Amino acid sequence: MARAAVAGRFKSQRTVQVWPPRFPDNKVKRWTCATAALICLGPDRGAGVPKIIETMLAAPLARPAAANAFFLTGTNEPSTLPALLAGLKDSRLPVRQFCAEAVFRMAPWVPPTVVSTLTNAVSDPDPMVRAYVIGTLGSALTNSPDANTRLASVRALDDLGATASAVIDALARAKSDGDRFVAAQAITTFDRLKKVHEDRSE
């Protein structure tokens, strides 16, 4: 029954995922469903994350597919976030990369309390980790249903001075946010960072 539920959840989300083209689809499905099963099966669901990390270290090619599982289960399994955030401080680079990608997949559901942890991770020496963390903040800004998370994200992007094109695009969309505080902060941040972005592009 658990296997059917995981497979069904995967099937319902299949069309919105971008799968790594180098992986045959059947392998991606197996890796993703196996990871989702570890996440979903209790009793302490967050406890499955360390096992997933260790498995990913043994099979690094499975990393993108395993990270997809956190997108599929993110809205129902927020208990996995603490272990992933702790992984951002791990001394092993592959662990930090995997955790950063998995958190990015869960971006629409991150609470405002984790924004400071993500902000600290932007100083990671690895460009992939930094890119995923900044991407998480940008995605949370435009996709989170929680206005406090969106406001915390735009403030963090402002403090970081993030000027990637994806960030500028996210700020542009956030200028029309339904929450007036988010919209006001987004307008201010957009105007400042867009100018910096344009100056760097010249």
| CATH code for the domain in which residue 112 is found | 1.25.10
Looking at the structure, tell me whether residues 111 and 200 fall in a common domain. yes
79 DSSP 8-state letter: G
Distance CA 195, CA 93 (A): 33
Q: In this predicted structure, what is the pLDDT of residue 129?
A: 92
Residues 117 and 167 in one domain: yes
* Residue 90 covered by a domain: no
Arithmetic mean of pLDDT over the chain? 77
68 and 120 assigned to the same domain: no
Same domain flag for 142 and 58 = no
70 plus 116 within the same structural domain: no
**pLDDT attached to residue 202:** 55
Say if residue 61 is in the same domain as residue 1: yes
Considering only CA atoms, which of 94, 46, 95, 100 is closest in space to residue 73? 46
- Looking at the domain assignment, is residue 87 inside a domain? no
User: Tokens 């629409």, residue?
Assistant: 108
Q: What pLDDT does residue 56 have? A: 80
Encoded tokens for 125: 């020496």
pTM: 0.74
Which stretches of the chain score pLDDT less than 50? Answer: 1-23, 43
- In this prediction, residue 70 carries a pLDDT of 78
Q: Does residue 96 lie within any of the structural domains?
A: no
What single DSSP character describes residue 125? Answer: S
Residue range(s) defining the domain that contains residue 51: 1-80
* 161 phi-psi bin (left φ>0, alpha ψ -120 to 50, beta other): left
What's the pLDDT at 64? 77
CA angle 41, 43, 47 (to 5 degrees): 80
Token duo for residue 74: 């993110």
> Do 57 and 130 share a domain, yes or no?
no
Co-location of 111 and 170 in the same domain: yes
The count of domains in the chain is 2
**Of the residues 80, 115, 144, the one at which a domain ends:** 80
Note the pLDDT of residue 125: 93
d(CA 173, CA 163): 15
Whether 37 is covered by a domain: the verdict is yes
